[in-house]
Amino acid sequence: MLSQGFVSAAAIAASVLFILSLGGLSNQEKAKRAVWYGITGMAVAVFFTAFGPGIGGYWWMIPMIIIGAGIGTWMAGKVEMTEMPQLVAALHSFVGLAAVFVALSADLERRRVLAARAVDGVMHDFSAFAALVATKAPEELAFLQVEVVLGIFIGAVTFTGSVVAFGKLAGKVDGKPRQLPGGHLLNAGAAALSVLLAVLYLNGAGFWTLLALALLAFFIGYHLIMGIGGADMPVVVSMLNSYSGWAAAAIGFTLSNDLLIVTGALVGSSGAILSYIMCKAMNRNFVNVILGGFGGSQGPAAEIEGEQVAIDAAGVASALNDADSIIIVPGYGMAVAQAQTAVSDLVRKLRAAGKEVRFGIHPVAGRLPGHMNVLLAEARVPYDIVLEMDEINDDFASTDVVIVIGSNDIVNPSAQEDPNSPIAGMPVLKVWEAKQVFISKRGQGTGYSGIENPLFFKDNSRMFYGDARDSLNALLPMID
């Protein structure tokens, strides 16, 4: 059994490692080392917490740690990069559910301590947490009740919201925004009832108030995320990441665990900041995101004229051979087709031919922040030719060829031209300003978000139909 001094020192060390990890992830070249900081910090946190003072039950705790580590290792090896967004959403749900269980258990232990005090005031065979509760003054117990309420509410919203986000990202739930009759009034009513239940609980009502609060929060999480369209799922994942952090922080206060408080605050604040940045990139209102109030259409969309004109690999190759400047815009379709290696091979061949090749990355490309950057780094695409939207958007007008691989909303001119579009006002990559645009796409459908794209019908656009990896591999032998 380790002393409290060791545990406190380990908590500080782990917190520093987590901060270094977050800081390093902002730079692609330092990201690998930053991940190892995070892994080391978590290992330190788990070990010193598990063997700290007042902890017991190792006969079942250690097997559970081993089983959990085994499942995590198996999942890490099995999950493809295309499935990473839904995996992240699933992991967020675990944090939320853990917060609910810890908060309910904390209240049961609180009631047990109070019952013992009322009978004879003797400390019986209490758990480590109950022993901690027994040392608290009445005002501290009142604050503990507030922590319990917050832990249950935030955790329950995070759990069901993350489950729905997982379903939408995995294609198991319709990506279109859907709400029950009553819409946001149902959410507002559930939130008002939650406040009422919290007040009743804080004024001495029974354990049933917490169970009812959890059920209402489960509903709110479900209904909030169901009301958000698939086009906005990247922001939703980031938002739920923030929620899971605050849920972890609530657990930390309940358990008097400084490390959980620090870690939860880091995750919660960084997730909130990232959500705000992404909302700005999509011209969304941050409050609307939190309330689940966007994702639907604003009115009748503008009519699209023209037709989609297909082109074969030989035609695309001819244009690439004649071009001097080329920009590639990747989207989720590249991830689905696992075409990043084919893209990298094409880039190397084009650059060897003396052509200027760069990538344009939208902040919400894919279904997870940084999704495209990770895929391109995995395929060993040089960092210096991967540019963000603000860095490259003004260059499309002077570019000979743009290749769009599996993108829809982030290259949709309706965002700027149609005020009734669901993505009206969203900053997009202005690929249509280039001399020629080739769109690699499986078929003529509207894609995951269900929003039609006028780009596909423009005179300088050609549709390069087929699986992205197969299409790009067909180009390679034709590049001079």
Radius of gyration from C-alpha coordinates of the chain: 26
What distance in Å separates the CA atoms of residue 411 and residue 377, rounded to the nearest whole number?
Answer: 22
Asked whether 428 and 390 are in contact (CB, 8 A), the reply is: no
Dist. CA 158–CA 153, nearest whole Å: 9
Q: In 10 A of CB 235, how many CB atoms?
A: 26
- What CA–CA distance (Å, rounded) separates 468 from 100? 43
User: Which residue has 């901060």 as its token pair?
Assistant: 19
d(CA 267, CA 302): 41
Do residues 457 and 310 touch, judged by C-beta distance below 8 A?
no
Strands 436-441 and 356-361: unpaired
Positions marked catalytic: 409
Enter the tokens of residue 181: 């009759």
Nearest alpha carbon to residue 41 among 259, 204, 355, 192: 259
